[in-house]
Structure 1
Amino acid sequence: MSRIVRFHELGGPEVLRIEEVEVPPPGPGEIAVEIKAFGLNRAESMFRSGPYVEAPEFPARLGYEGAGVVTAVGAGVADFAPGDAVSVIPPLSITRWGSYGEVATFPAEVAVKHPASLTWVESAGIWMQYVTAYGALIEIAKLARGDFVLITAASSSVGLAAIQIARAVGAIPIATTRTSAKKAALLDAGAAHVVVTREEDLAARVAAITEGTGARIAFDPVAGPMLEQVAGAMAQNGIVIEYGALSPDPTSLPLFPLFTKNLTLHGYQYKDVVRDRKQLDRAKRFILDGLASGVLKPIIDKVFSFEQIVEAHHYLESNQQFGKIVVTV
């Protein structure tokens, strides 16, 4: 029996329970991992509370990513053996696989032997943020040197990963934040410019930064009324990549900016990368090279113990964090 976080109904953080559960051995193509730490993601909060792109099957497990030691391998697994230290790229289904627990099984194809220089806490929270940002910016938008890229909700772990990836290829990241409280930290994290959206007009400020051209790429998890502002800050023939729905308000299509600027509005999930083996291999190489060189370095905001999982989810939903929230087991 192992301690596993599960929930039996949709709701707030209080629905999360630590329960003793018999975890089945890894099936064909899977590995079992003794979890040392796991990162938290807003997608997990949405899965727990609803609505989300995937519906839970109760009692439901939770968790997209983690790091630990391989304890067993299923049939057909050749690249891993018991004792290997691994971290996990989020698999395709949070319902089928969940990392919140002492033990978890995962498809071997999403496990990675991460750089030994990373701690368990760092390695537990690297893949969701970097794979998400890589797939959008590099694979879809073809981000290149000199490009202006607008990154909203930039103090999130994915936003910070996007800033680092932009810097890695010589692009110019423009970060947004609602208040000035995180402005200095975003500049220290590599943002070339920071726009405080409650104090500044986004389109006007981006126009000033780009000398009137606007941003070629926008990377946005907020949607809602924010989408109209983002569209107004875009360059001719720009691309807006939507990868979330954090705003509780309805999202209206910004028709006139789309028409007049010939914009592309592209919906996106990290799963686009995981489904494509060649893309996934390219993502692994890019991210591992960046981690090894230090160009990419996860920013950890706060660490909670396993027993503090409810408190950790409350903190996740507070929007206070700057970077990744990690839970140790």
Structure 2
Amino acid sequence: MARVVRFHQHGGPEVLRIETVDVAPPARGEVQIRVKALGLNRAEALLRRGTYIETATFPSGLGLEAAGIVEAVGEDVAGFAPADAVSIVPPLSMVRWPAYAELATFPAELVVKHPPELGFETAAAVWMQYLTAYGALVDIAGLGRGDVVAVTAASSSVGLAAIQIANRIGAIPVALTRTSAKRRALCDAGAAHVIVSAEEDIRTRLAEIAGSNGVRAVFDAVGGPAFEPLTAAMSPGGILIEYGGLSPEPTPFPLFCVLTKSLVLRGYLVHEITGDPARLARAKAFILDGLAHGALKPIIARTFKFDEIVEAHRFLESNEQFGKIVVTI
């Protein structure tokens, strides 16, 4: 028996319940984890509300990231043993492999022995943010030294990961944030420049920063009207990678800029990386090396207890956080 978080209908944070259920042993190729910490992601709030790319089957579990200790291993699993400290690469389906639980089971290929110097709270904050940012900036965009990259929703965990990765490869990260409240923190987190979208003209500021070369890449989680000034500031042959849709407003297609600059506008899911063993191996090597050398440092906004999961989700949806929200068990 173990406590798990489930919901029986779509809705706000209040639909989340902690229930005690029987937990099956790991199947062939799976590893069961005694969870010590969870990393929260906006995808979980979307699943809870019924607006995610995956459909919940009630009662539904949820959760994409965890760190803990190996409890048991299934048949045909090599390289893991009980008591190993591990963290989890986000699975393709959080309905099939939910993380919000005292005991959670995952495919062995998604289980990672993280660097021993990482505590469980930090380890639970690693994989979604860095895999998402790495896949976009390094694997797809191929950013290099001196390239300017504009990062929207920059105070999110993925936005902060993108800033750190850009700095590691010698690119120039420009953080976009809605208000000036987080400007200082973004500079402290490594942003070379900060643009406050509610107070400054995005196109003008990006042109001032990037100069005649223009913005080589845009890493966008928002969409909406900002598409036009963002693409207007891009360099010929530049790439805009869209991985979210936070704006409630329509997203215009910037036809003139796309045609005259031969731009690439590309949708992106982290599953492109996690579902490809070779690309995932390269990403893991990059991230583990960055963690070991201190170039990549997860920023934790706030930590909640497992019994406070409803409050944690309310904070997740408040947009007040700077970095990752973690829940401990």
Alignment TM class, shorter chain as reference: over 0.9
User: Is 1:252 the counterpart of 2:252 in the alignment?
Assistant: yes
Residue of structure 2 equivalent to 1:190: 190
| C-alpha distance in structure 1 between counterparts of 2:9 and 2:252, whole Å | 31
Residue pairs, 1:217-228, within 5 angstroms: 217-228=217-228
Residue pairs, 1:77-156, within 5 angstroms: 77-156=77-156
Query: How much does 1:251 deviate?
Result: 2.2
Residue of structure 2 equivalent to 1:277: 277
| C-alpha distance in structure 2 between counterparts of 1:166 and 1:285, whole Å | 16
Residue pairs, 1:30-49, within 5 angstroms: 30-49=30-49
Query: How much does 1:50 deviate?
Result: 2.2
SS at match of 2:315: helix
| C-alpha distance in structure 1 between counterparts of 2:97 and 2:224, whole Å | 30
SS at match of 2:35: strand
Residue pairs, 1:1-329, within 5 angstroms: 1-329=1-329
| C-alpha distance in structure 2 between counterparts of 1:263 and 1:223, whole Å | 16
| C-alpha distance in structure 2 between counterparts of 1:328 and 1:209, whole Å | 41
Query: How much does 1:247 deviate?
Result: 1.4
Unaligned runs of 5+ in 1: none
| C-alpha distance in structure 2 between counterparts of 1:138 and 1:281, whole Å | 14
SS at match of 2:99: coil
Percent identity at matched positions?
Answer: 60
Aligned partner letter, 1:195: I
Query: How much does 1:255 deviate?
Result: 1.5
SS at match of 2:212: coil
Aligned partner letter, 1:304: F
Q: CA 1:216–1:57 in 2, change beyond 3 Å: closer, same or farther?
A: same
| C-alpha distance in structure 2 between counterparts of 1:241 and 1:323, whole Å | 21
Query: How much does 1:258 deviate?
Result: 1.2
With the length of structure 2 as denominator, give the TM-score of the two structures: 0.99
Query: How much does 1:253 deviate?
Result: 1.7
| C-alpha distance in structure 2 between counterparts of 1:259 and 1:21, whole Å | 56
SS at match of 2:51: coil
Query: How much does 1:171 deviate?
Result: 0.4
Q: Deviations over 1:35-73 (max 9, x none)?
A: 000010011111111211111111110100010000000
| C-alpha distance in structure 2 between counterparts of 1:50 and 1:241, whole Å | 24
Which segment is superposed worse, 95-104 or 243-252? Answer: 243-252
Q: Deviations over 1:185-242 (max 9, x none)?
A: 0000000000000010111100001113321100001112222232122111110000
SS at match of 2:211: coil
With the length of structure 1 as denominator, give the TM-score of the two structures: 0.99
Q: Deviations over 1:288-313 (max 9, x none)?
A: 00000000000011000001100000
> How many pairs align?
329
